[in-house]
């Protein structure tokens, strides 16, 4: 693994910090159907660009893979079930003593802020797709996170949760660590990332 220098750290939220996969799988009825639904959602989100309502994308993705559109509403009702990946609150709490932390997430404003609170860490900024007016990997949402922290792009480490997030953050000039506990594939992302980790406890030693 190659080290990464940074003054501040921005995180993806729903994959890098929270285990949202478990909720999607439970709603879909199985891990297999949940993963198919989630990957369809990711494909649609990453090619959407300009913001459209988050739950509409969730519903459209469900319908596209043969699941009921109403699952989007059920997801909103059960949003509180999202759980941090092991150690997330503790690791980020310790990091926050030494550097500003922020979130850049493909989510609505309300759900994004609710999800950020579930991590149990102090964030200096939470930038959502709704507030930025676009979805990742549009450069504008990453840059909105950088601007909110008042630093230069090259001072920010981005912790991604998916391959396209790695590529999007890299494209705007940020070094990227890919936290990949869901074991997603993406050889291009692996090559582009400064490091790929499976546990957030591996992150602090990479920060110089």
- Side-chain half-sphere of 145: how many Cα atoms within 13 Å? 37
SS3 content of the chain, % helix, strand, coil (to 5): 50, 15, 35
What's the CA gap between 190 and 157, in Å, rounded? 16
Cα torsion 181, 9, 57, 44: sign: negative
Per-residue pLDDT tens over the stretch 142-190: 999 999 999 999 999 999 999 999 999 999 999 999 999 988 888 888 9
Domain boundaries, the chain: 8-19+82-206, 20-80
User: 8-19+82-206 has which CATH code?
Assistant: 3.40.50.1000
Q: Does residue 74 surpass a pLDDT of 70?
A: yes
Enter the pTM of the model.
0.93
Q: What is the mean pLDDT of residues 75-97?
A: 96
Per-residue pLDDT tens over the stretch 14-66: 999 999 999 999 999 999 999 999 989 988 988 888 999 999 999 999 999 99
The answer to whether the CB of 196 falls within 8 A of the CB of 180 is yes
Strands, sheet with 156-160, edge to edge from the N-terminal-most edge strand? 125-128, 101-105, 8-11, 156-160, 176-179, 195-197
Q: What is the pLDDT of residue 186?
A: 85
- The residue among 165, 131, 161, 166 whose CA lies nearest residue 145 is 131
Per-residue pLDDT band at 90 (split at 50, 70, 90)? very high
């Amino acid at each position: 693994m190659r080290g990464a220098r940074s003054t501040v750290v921005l995180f993806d939220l729903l994959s890098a910090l929270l285990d949202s996969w478990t909720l999607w799988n439970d709603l879909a009825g199985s891990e297999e159907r949940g993963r198919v639904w989630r990957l369809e959602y990711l494909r649609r989100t990453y090619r959407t660009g300009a913001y459209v309502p988050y739950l509409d994308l969730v519903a459209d993705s469900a319908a596209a893979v043969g699941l009921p559109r109403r699952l989007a509403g059920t997801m909103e009702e059960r949003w509180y079930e999202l759980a941090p990946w092991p150690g997330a609150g503790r690791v980020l709490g310790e990091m926050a003593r030494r550097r500003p932390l922020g979130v850049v997430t493909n989510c609505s404003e309300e759900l994004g802020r609710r999800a950020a609170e579930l991590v149990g860490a102090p964030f200096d900024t939470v930038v959502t797709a709704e507030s930025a007016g676009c979805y990742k990997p549009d450069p504008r949402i990453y840059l909105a996170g950088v601007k909110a922290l008042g630093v230069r792009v090259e001072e920010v480490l981005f912790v991604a949760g998916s391959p396209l997030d790695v590529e999007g953050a890299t494209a705007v000039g940020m070094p990227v660590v890919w936290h990949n506990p869901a074991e997603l594939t993406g050889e291009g992302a692996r090559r582009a990332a400064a490091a790929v980790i499976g546990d957030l406890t591996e992150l602090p030693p990479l920060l110089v």
